[in-house]
Amino acid sequence: MTDPEFSTMSSRQRWLAPAKINLFLHVVGRRPDGYHLLQSVFESIDWFDELIFDRTSVPGLVRQGDLLSPESEDLAFRAAKALQQTPSWKKAGKPGAVITVTKTIPAGAGLGGGSSDAATTLMGLNTLWQLGLSQQELAEIGLTLGADVPFFLVGQSAFAQGVGENLQPLESRPRWVVVGVPSCPVATGPIFQAPELTRNSKPLKIADFAQFALDPVWDFGHNDLEPVTRARFPEVDQVLRWFSKAAEGEKIAPAAVRMSGSGGAVFCTAPSKEAAERLKSQVEMLKADAQKNGQGPVLRHLRICQTIPTQSGQGESLVGF
């Protein structure tokens, strides 16, 4: 329910915040401050949260809809608060907003839903409030919210380095991908802090893998976090096994099956939509067989997606909505 103190103006915009997958994730070192040095390729997929922004005549903020954490910890709310610290916001007359989020991207899955919501809030309110901030300025704000946030502001597939903030656009192609999310949410911090985590993968150049971005099935590289996560979360290990067996039946390279981010989402790229549909059906059958044998719920979500090599980064005006 919107606070009655907020008088919503007719200006309203609807934005979609996409999920992402890490096509690979190599840990190549560690900084003295404890942050890990990474190399990864980020690609957006067509699995979206929906954000609606209503401009208000007073400077406050209301965050409503699906809220998975206290408002002060919510990344969309924090992104809006960060914009209200900028000189541009003051010059624009200190506008406020009602932010309504409808979530479909599962949390704790390595799909970047919270970071995408934050980036989408930065872009949406920058437009709605007419702040005129550049992509670079938004990225600098985004990095204070999370290492993945700048990627969602780039608007295309990217090679990420550093802690994830050093981004190079990557020419890619739309590809079919089956995504499975285990029933267990996975917290990122403990995975990175695990003593058994490999932190010495060989650094790469973009030329080392650029050709793979144009292939329908991605089977380059690996995810250094995957062995740690699957050892600590049996559900992730089980879903990886199901995907591997299904991929084998489709004669898809075993390396095409991997985990995204710190998990627990598992994905497999497929050479065609038909192959993706068969792959999904095979995983569903393996899940059903396990449940017949008394295994509890292991798989929370299973869906076919497409990667999004480039995005328009534009919202939809809903004036008088």
Tell me the catalytic residues: 20, 148
In single-letter form, the type of residue at position 2 comes to: T
Is the separation of the CB atoms in 264 and 186 below 8 Å?
yes
DSSP letter string over 34-58? Answer: SPEEEEEEEEEEEEEEEEEEEEESS
Kindly tell me the number of DSSP H helices and DSSP E strands found in the chain: 9, 11
What is the distance between the alpha carbons of residues 176 and 102, in angstroms, rounded to a whole number? 25
Q: Which residues pair with 62 in a beta bridge?
A: 98
Question: 245-248: which pairs have CB atoms within 8 A and are 24 or more residues apart?
Answer: 245/282, 245/286, 246/279, 246/282, 246/283, 246/286, 247/279
* 88, two tokens: 């541009």
Q: Is 94 left (phi over 0), alpha (psi -120 to 50) or beta?
A: left
What is the distance between the alpha carbons of residues 280 and 162, in angstroms, rounded to a whole number? 34
Burial letters 49-61, b for 16+ CB under 10 A, else e: bbbbbbbbeeeeb
Strand, helix or coil for residue 290:
helix
What is the distance between the alpha carbons of residues 103 and 168, in angstroms, rounded to a whole number? 29
Cis peptide before 264 (omega within 30 of 0): yes
Is the separation of the CB atoms in 167 and 158 below 8 Å?
yes
Is the separation of the CB atoms in 75 and 51 below 8 Å?
no
* 60, two tokens: 């406050």
Which uninterrupted H or E stretch holds 88? helix 87-91
